[in-house]
Amino acid sequence: MSNKNKGRVGETRVIRVITDIMDVEGNVDFTRHTNTNTADGGADIVLEHPEGFIDTLLEIADPQKTESSDSNNEDKDTTQNKEPTNSITAEDKLQSTPSSDSDSGSGSDKPVADINKSESQQESNKTKSTTEKTRIDVKNTDSKLGKDTVIKFGGDVRKNPDCKNHVLLGGKALTKGAQDELTSLQEAYSKSGKKIVHVTNNGLSNIESHYKALNSPENSNQPEPESENNGSSESNSESQADTNNH
C-alpha cells in the first residue's frame, strides 16, 4: 500500500469514528481543510466540541492512564495547598471597609444599568468560550512513533493557534525518545493552557467501540410503533366473534 493510500485509510477511519461521536453527542463537529498528503500545517482533522470534551475522549481511550494522571494532579494540589491562606491583613480589611462618614445610600458607585451590562457581558463571554478546537495529526502505522515524528508534531502547534488541544493519533506506543520529547512539549505549553497528548491505535479502537455501542439499536429509547397488521387482525377477530354470536 502506498503512503498516500495509508494516509487516506488512516484519516477516513478517524472521520468515521468522529461521525459516530457526532451522532451521539450532537454538539461535536469537524473540519478537514485539505486532501490527503497535502500541506495542512499538521492538522489532518480539526475537531470542534464543548470545552473539556477532550478529557472525556482521553478517558475512554485509556481509562487507566487518565486515573493515574488524576492521582498525580491530586498529589500536586495537596502540596500546593500547604501554603498559608490568610494573605489578607487587618490593614487590607480596614481599607476595604466603607467609611461610616460616607452617604448611607451610596452602596455602589456603579449605576444599575452598568452592573446589568457587565453581568450580561460576562454571560456572553462565557457562551463564546464554551466551544474549543482540537487538532488531530493522524499517523497510520502499527509501529511505535519516533522522536522525529513528535518533534514535527510539536513544531506544528504554533501553526494552529486557534486550537487549544493537539492530539498525535496513531502507532502502538511512543519510543523512549519520543515520550521524552512529548513530555517536554507538555511542560512548555502547560502555562498557556494547551493540552498536548498522544493517543494510540488501541485508544482509537476504544473510542470507536464505545460510540458504536451507543449508536446500536439496543440503546435506542424510542418505543417501537404498534404493527397495523396486529391491530387489524384483532379487529377482524372481534367482528368474527360478533357474527358467530348472532
Which of 140, 144, 138 lies closest to 175, judged by CA?
144
Share the mean pLDDT of the chain: 77
Other C-beta atoms lying within 10 Å of the C-beta of residue 169: 25
- pLDDT for residue 217: 77
Q: What does the buried/exposed string (b/e) look like for 3-12 if buried means 16 or more CB atoms within 10 Å of the residue's CB?
A: eeeebbebbe
Q: What is the pLDDT of residues 161-194, one digit of tens each?
A: 999 999 999 999 999 999 999 999 999 999 999 9
Average pLDDT over residues 50-74: 80
Other C-beta atoms lying within 10 Å of the C-beta of residue 154: 20
- pLDDT for residue 100: 45
* Structural domains of the chain sorted by starting position, each given as residue range(s) with its CATH number in brackets: 1-64+130-218 (3.40.1350)
